[in-house]
Structure 1
Amino acid sequence: MNAKSAARAQGRPVLQRFPLALRILGYTTVIAIGLLYLFPFLLQLVTGFKTDPDAAAHPLGLIPATPTTAAYQRLFGLSQSGEAVPFFRWLGNSVFLSVTVTAGRVLLDSMAGYALARLNFPGRRLLFGFVIAILAVPPVALLIPKFLVLNTFGLFDTYAAMIMPLLVDTVGIFIMKQFFESIPREVEEAAKMDGAGVFRTFWSIVLPMARPALITLTILSFQGSWNEFTNLLVATQSSQYETLTTGLARFVSGSLGQGTQYPLKLAAALMATIPVAVLFFCFQRYFVQGANAGAVKE
């Protein structure tokens, strides 16, 4: 009888093996932690509809005393009060930077990953060792050398300075290499028997099979370039090259107008958050698949 009970218990889901009171406590704890993480985003959303005095007097209040869209009207240039916020210029620069960098990373990282995974050339292992070693270097340690290189080549304060240092990413190379190594070699050998060259095999055969990894790399690249800040600090100085991150940083420092302006600042931050959040939630299934495929080698 004990054996049968043990067998039934083993066949049930893990959570159902615990007492009801313990399960309720666990669910309550998880929900509470989830709400704790959601609170800043909810506060950001609500504060955008507050007035400046209301936001200053009740910064943690979740119900606006006098709901208003004044912050969004000023953000989108629909209000005549206060200094103009160049939100659309920031947005345009961010979109241009993110799209260009994402396209470049997906192409170059996948080509580099395939070369390290499949092509036999002298120094391949040493080169991959350098790629792994770069992951251990703090990005802040490269800021001054990056500025010196850009300034020496006359690229400082240009769009090229914003884009070129971000076109290749070591994490992306590693993800693509691990995924390509999980693809059976018989697929490539069959393509070679049909007369396909290395690039044709990569472009027409292997790359379409790497869809989960490509989507993962696209999400990571778009998110990273959209939120990029440190590279832009040493690459540009003119206001015409400001993105959402650098523009918001200047905004938060108090250079636009007077006072705290919490509603305007948080409304701008919310608008900067939405594109990345939508992209992730739309492709999170592929993101998980690509991450698993890159981490586990068959």
Structure 2
Amino acid sequence: MSSLSLRLRPKKRVNRSFMGSLSLFLLLLVFGSFMILPLVYAINNAFKPLDEIFLFPPRMFVRNPTFNNFSDLVNLLSQSWVPFSRYIFNTVFITGMGIVGHVILASAAAYPLAKHHFPGKAILFQVVVLSLMFTPAVTATPNYMIMSWLGMVDTYWAVIVPAFAYSLGLYLMKQFMEQIPDAILEAAKIDGASEYRIFWTVVMPNVKPAWLTLIILLFQMLWGSDGNGFIQSEQLKTLHFAANQIIQGGIARAGAGAAVALILMSVPITLFIFSQSQIIETMATSGMKE
């Protein structure tokens, strides 16, 4: 078939009636409204006075908004013998080191699994897939035993090192790297590029949506970590632990607990908003074809 006939062939278009588009929009609007309700409730709860927080039946929207919950939170934090900035540093350090280390290790391990052939490759990948079936509660005791043998209990590394072995990241990177055409890698080898250069300058830029999605997943997991029994020293505790201490302080701290809950959830949500396009591209990608 000539190129002229290909150009003249009309393109197929998906036709949808106005009522069909409207029905789809309304359906998505209904489901979206249900999904956003917890966030709306958390925002309103942070600005409710105590009498509205304990009102039964509870109200979704605040009637008399106040900033007393946030001022009470500041007073509580100022009375702590460990500075609040220390909790923030601990959380940021654990989250940052865990994300950087896991993205590098997961990507480096996924590259040979996706683009090289060696004995035992299929078995290794099956082990990775099998590990996805185990929940954190199942692996908590083995993780503690391993950290104890390594002498890392009551240190930052007791939380960071297990994050390096997050098998979902390895699975995600491997599956995404398989979509890169082999012709691109072969062209780089012909040009004299080493395996390390191919990995850093060819593979990693092409799987950017995948490792950005992985950053979001790791951030959500590590940001909400309270040590899981690995950390006992108060100076090494995370922000989530400090928040739990406030929330469990009784009825008088209910307002401060609502304020700190809003602050904790606002950081992952903000990060997701700025990177949602990359996540959607990862989840809905059609792959790269040769």
Please report the TM-score for the alignment, with normalisation by the length of structure 2.
0.83
Does the CA contact (< 8 Å) of 2:77 and 2:84 recur in 1? no
Output the CA distance in 1 between the equivalents of 2:85 and 2:244: 16
Question: What corresponds to 2:220 in structure 1?
Answer: 223
> Pick from 277, 283, 287: which aligns with 1:285?
277
Aligned residues: 276
Change in 2 beyond 3 A, CA 1:15/1:238:
farther
What displacement does 1:38 show? 2.6
**1:1-298 superposed matches below 5 A:** 12-13=15-16, 16-17=19-20, 23=23, 30-57=28-55, 59-60=58-59, 62-65=61-64, 67-77=65-75, 87-229=84-226, 232-254=227-249, 258-293=250-285, 298=289
Three-state SS of the structure 2 residue aligned to 1:234 is: coil
Output the CA distance in 2 between the equivalents of 1:33 and 1:119: 43
Change in 2 beyond 3 A, CA 1:93/1:33:
same
Spell out, residue by residue over 1:200-252, the C-alpha distance to the aligned partner (whole angstroms, 9 max, x if none).
111112211211112112222222221235xx213112222222333333333
Identity of counterpart residues, as a percentage? 30
Spell out, residue by residue over 1:161-218, the C-alpha distance to the aligned partner (whole angstroms, 9 max, x if none).
1211112321111111111111111111111111111111111122112111121122
Does the CA contact (< 8 Å) of 1:56 and 1:262 recur in 2? no
What displacement does 1:49 show? 2.1
Change in 2 beyond 3 A, CA 1:30/1:186:
closer
RMSD: 2.8
Runs of at least 5 residues in structure 2 that lack an aligned partner in the other structure: 1-12
Output the CA distance in 2 between the equivalents of 1:136 and 1:164: 20
Change in 2 beyond 3 A, CA 1:52/1:108:
same
Larger mean CA deviation between 91-100 and 190-199 belongs to 91-100
Output the CA distance in 1 between the equivalents of 2:288 and 2:206: 15
Question: What corresponds to 1:4 in structure 2?
Answer: none
Does the CA contact (< 8 Å) of 1:77 and 1:84 recur in 2? no
Change in 2 beyond 3 A, CA 1:184/1:32:
closer
Please report the TM-score for the alignment, with normalisation by the length of structure 1.
0.81
Three-state SS of the structure 2 residue aligned to 1:76 is: helix
Does the CA contact (< 8 Å) of 2:82 and 2:235 recur in 1? no
Question: What corresponds to 2:9 in structure 1?
Answer: none
Output the CA distance in 1 between the equivalents of 2:177 and 2:31: 38
What displacement does 1:275 show? 1.3
Instruction: For 1:286, give the aligned amino acid.
Output: Q
Larger mean CA deviation between 140-149 and 234-243 belongs to 234-243
Does the CA contact (< 8 Å) of 2:246 and 2:253 recur in 1? no
Runs of at least 5 residues in structure 1 that lack an aligned partner in the other structure: 1-9
